[in-house]
């Protein structure tokens, strides 16, 4: 039995050592990818951002607000902290982690839309957090939504064993000099794709009007978000709520549905000193297909134009303050 147990121990040790080495190598490789979401998270956790202006939002925030362009207009360091496919809860979580390691901003640009106020049931894009799962704050955030990673602490590299593509990218990073495959600069991911109609996104709204749309699943999100904005405003942070342009094919169905929500934020902006609402839902940018890659996501061209517009509007607001 002794010889057998020693043999098994040797096998387990070999597997463990390999796993540990592979995990650390892949972590380092992924974090080293230039202009990647990994590098972005690494900068957040290393306290390297300290932006004066933060953009918060979901995928529309990430693809619609070009941090570099906004920065040029405002002459203030700007970073896009949006969470792809993450609604208000996840955005708050990322912001909370950001504040732990970076200085609080003086301005928050918050992208809002109908989808923003739904509950997040999971962390989409959690695979971009793989190199950081041993980081306490990231673990806690992930565990709030999914306890799958709780098994990973028992054996190294299990996270990559479930995501071989990422393991490969991590290794390849060393051989191609850290050349990334994303264009994620200052948190902004410009999409180069051209417009493709996303019927599935519009279908639900086609059947509803403002009388029949179910607002109940948004109510909690709206209320919590308003509370959050008020808290930040009390801390002296200026909150700029922005409703980005949507393409006319979608807008014809969502305009009436979004009216009650937009009115609430208009009222909020009128009531609160440091909260502003820039409603660009019906902006002319939304009439041109070339600005979008689907009915409510600006592509890189649209993001550049919209960011310039936002930059000019913000300049006026900031001058007036």
Partner 1 sequence: MLFNSYSFFVFLVLVFAFYWAIPRKYVTIQNAFLLVVSYVFYGWWDWRFLFLIAFSTVVDYFLALGIENNALKRRRKLLLAISVAVNIGLLGFFKYYNFFIDNFVDAFATIDIQLHKSSLNIILPVGISFYTFQTLSYTIDVYREKLRPTKNFINFATYVAFFPQLVAGPIERATNLLPQFSQKRFFNDQKAISGVNLIIWGLFQKIVIADSCAPYVNAIFDDYQNMNSLSLMLGAFYFAFQIYGDFAGYSNIAIGTARLLGFDLMKNFNYPYFSRDIAEFWRRWHISLSTWFRDYVYIPLGGSRGSQWNQVRNVAIIFIVSAFWHGANWTFIFWGIFHAIFFVPILLLNLNRKHTNQVSEGKYLPTIRELLQMIFTFSLACFAWILFRAPSLGDAASYIKRMIINLDFSIDYLPNSRYTVEMILIILLFLVIEWFHRKYEHPFVGRWRWLKIVAVIFMLLTLGVYSNHQEFIYFQF
Q: Which residues bind partner 1 (CB under 8 A)?
A: 1-4, 7-8, 11, 14-15, 18-19, 22, 151, 157-158, 161-165, 167-168
Say if residue 75 is exposed, middle or buried (CB neighbours under 10 Å; 0-12, 13-18, 19+).
exposed
Please say which residue, 101 or 171, places its beta carbon nearer to partner 1.
171
Least distance from partner 1 to the Cβ atom of residue 22, Å: 6
Please identify, using beta-carbon distances, which residue of 6 and 99 lies nearer to partner 1: 6
User: Residue 215: left if φ>0, alpha if ψ -120 to 50, beta else—which one?
Assistant: alpha
Closest separation between CB of residue 9 and partner 1, Å?
11
Residue 163 Cβ vs partner 1, minimum distance, rounded to whole Å = 7
Q: How is 213-227 classified by DSSP, letter by letter?
A: S--HHHHHHHHHHHH
Rounded to 5 degrees, φ, ψ at 294 are: -150, -175
Q: How far is the CB of 173 from partner 1 (least distance, A)?
A: 15
Residues 251 and 281 sit within 8 Å (Cβ to Cβ): yes
Question: Encoding tokens for residue 269?
Answer: 């902006």
Q: Which is nearer to partner 1, 25 or 230 (CB)?
A: 25
Q: Which token pair is 162? A: 């479930």
Q: How far is the CB of 1 from partner 1 (least distance, A)?
A: 6
Residue 204 CB-density burial (10 A; 0-12 exposed, 13-18 middle, 19+ buried): middle
Instruction: Determine the length of the chain.
Output: 321
Minimum separation from the CB atom of position 106 to partner 1 (A): 43
Q: Which helix (H) or strand (E) holds 292?
A: strand 292-294
Nearer to partner 1 (CB atom), residue 124 or residue 204 = 124
């Amino acid at each position: 039995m002794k010889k057998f147990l020693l043999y098994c121990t040797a096998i387990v040790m070999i597997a463990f050592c390999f796993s540990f080495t592979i995990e650390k190598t892949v972590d380092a490789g992924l974090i080293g990818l230039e202009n990647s979401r990994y590098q972005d998270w690494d900068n957040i956790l290393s306290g390297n951002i300290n932006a004066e202006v933060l953009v918060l939002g979901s995928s529309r925030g990430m693809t619609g607000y070009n941090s570099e362009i906004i920065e040029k207009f405002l002459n203030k360091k700007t970073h896009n902290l949006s969470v792809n496919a993450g609604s208000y809860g996840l955005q708050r979580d990322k912001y909370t982690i950001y504040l732990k390691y970076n200085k609080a901003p003086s301005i928050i640009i918050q992208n809002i839309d109908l989808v923003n106020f739904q509950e997040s049931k999971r962390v989409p894009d959690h695979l971009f957090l793989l190199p950081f799962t041993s980081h306490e704050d990231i673990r806690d955030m992930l565990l709030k939504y999914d306890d799958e990673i709780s098994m990973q602490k028992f054996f190294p590299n299990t996270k990559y064993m479930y995501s071989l593509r990422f393991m490969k990218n991590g290794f390849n990073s060393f051989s191609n000099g850290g050349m990334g495959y994303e264009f994620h600069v200052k948190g902004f991911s410009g999409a180069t794709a051209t417009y493709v109609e996303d019927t599935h996104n519009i279908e639900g709204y086609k059947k509803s009007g403002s009388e029949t749309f179910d607002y109940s699943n948004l109510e909690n999100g709206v209320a919590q978000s308003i509370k959050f904005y008020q808290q930040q405003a009390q801390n002296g942070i200026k909150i700029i709520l922005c409703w980005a342009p949507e393409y006319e094919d979608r807008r014809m169905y969502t305009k009436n549905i979004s009216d009650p929500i937009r009115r609430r934020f208009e009222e909020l902006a009128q009531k609160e000193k440091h909260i502003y609402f820039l409603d660009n839902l019906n902006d002319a940018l939304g009439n041109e297909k070339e600005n979008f890659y689907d009915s409510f996501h600006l592509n890189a061209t649209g993001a550049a134009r919209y960011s310039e517009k936002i930059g000019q509007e913000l300049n006026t607001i900031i001058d007036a303050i």
